[in-house]
Amino acid sequence: MIEPPVRVLHVIKSLSLGGTEKVMQLFVTNLDQSRFTPAVYSRMNGVRAAQIRTAGVDTFIGGDLLGVLDRFKPDIVHVHRAGWPEPDLLKPIKRARVPVVVETNVFGRHDPSPQAEIIDHTLFVSRFCLDRFIKVTGIGPDPDRYSYLYNPVDTDLFARMARQDRDFTRPVAGRISRPDPGKWSRLALDFLPLLVREVPDFRYFIIGGIPEAEEYVRTHGLQGHVLFREQVRTDSEIASFLNGVSVLAHANDTGESFGLVIAEAMACGLPVVTHPSEGLRDNAQLELVDHGVTGLVANSGEEYAMALKYLFSHPDEARRMGKAGQEKAARLFRMQDIARKLEAVYLELLRRKGIRNEQ
């Protein structure tokens, strides 16, 4: 007897352009729909809703989550959240008696609340987040309960669209983030006067500029070197932007629990310059960027400026790092492969509960 497809409801707060929302979209649109029937519930609408529906996946926007659970009757609920307590989100799932509950814990936080007891498996987005969780909480390693699954990236598209004739001697760096001060570091600006003195024709293209960055550029007379761009909505637009630069300049004081933009730049064949975060802040950027292999890690404005200068003046090294990053991204982050790993997690949890026996 052929069993019907597993019904999976992905639950998320919004469907905006954020990285968490993008990861969820790539998960649901890459599940094997001969074996799974995915759908999405979100409290708030957003631009990703139409994209998800175009891919043939139903969306439930706003309204009562419990009512959606009663109508859709999922075998699995997959919650995408920061990790800290959110009782209003978990209570309806508990009341609906969903057989299996999975969470993607985006920031590696611990939820000790009673509501979190319904979670059967937590997926962290990097090995760093999993290791820090174990260290901070004292909870012992338990692969049946906690594991990590890298965020999916459309590496095939980025590799296909990447410029094959990229000129790494062009002194042009790019930066992509949300226009949120929490996504910035002073390092992203402090290197500028230093580098411009060394490389007078340097250009810096920025998506996600903030008022403080625009003011810095004005007061330091850097308008001829920095261009602020509009936000982009699709991977094709991201790839087109990255095709116009020679290196990704990443800097974020809070660090990255994964680093989606870094992974996408790697998939395009770009070397990445980044920096470590302090203390127990997110540091998965160093899990992606191997110093001297897929990019360079700098610890100060001076080091950052010199790292960029080095890449512009050593194009063969820049190309080698970009190629190594592209190969690493395809090996570890390819969305189709990540989706298969997620499916295996789902089926194993159903098997353990005696709900399904398929492999």
322-338 tens-digit pLDDT: 999 999 999 999 999 99
The pLDDT, as a whole number, for residue 1 is 58
The pLDDT, as a whole number, for residue 87 is 83
The dihedral over CA atoms of 228, 233, 239, 242, expressed in degrees to the nearest 10, equals 20
Phi first, then psi: what are they for 338, rounded to 5°? -65, -40
Q: What is the mean pLDDT of the chain?
A: 95
Question: Bridge partners of 344?
Answer: none
Q: Which residue has the tokens 């919650």?
A: 79
CATH number of 6-152+335-352: 3.40.50.2000
Chain segment 238-252, per-residue pLDDT in tens: 999 999 999 999 999
Quote the CA–CA distance of 128 and 291 in Å, as a whole number: 16
In the predicted model, what is the mean pLDDT of residues 34-47?
94
The pLDDT, as a whole number, for residue 233 is 85
Chain segment 229-239, per-residue pLDDT in tens: 998 989 999 99
Quote the CA–CA distance of 60 and 70 in Å, as a whole number: 12
- pLDDT band, very low/low/confident/very high, at 358 (cuts 50, 70, 90): low
Quote the CA–CA distance of 100 and 80 in Å, as a whole number: 14
CATH class of the domain defined by 155-333: alpha beta
Residues 6+ apart with CB under 8 A from 91: 115
In the predicted model, what is the mean pLDDT of residues 185-194?
93
Domain boundaries, the chain: 6-152+335-352, 155-333
Structure tokens at 84: 């800290």
Question: Bridge partners of 9?
Answer: 39, 77
Chain segment 72-125, per-residue pLDDT in tens: 999 999 999 998 888 888 999 999 999 999 999 999 999 999 999 999 999 999
Percent of the chain's residues with pLDDT above 90: 87
The pLDDT, as a whole number, for residue 305 is 97
In the predicted model, what is the mean pLDDT of residues 3-14?
94
Residue 263 confidence (pLDDT) above 80:
yes
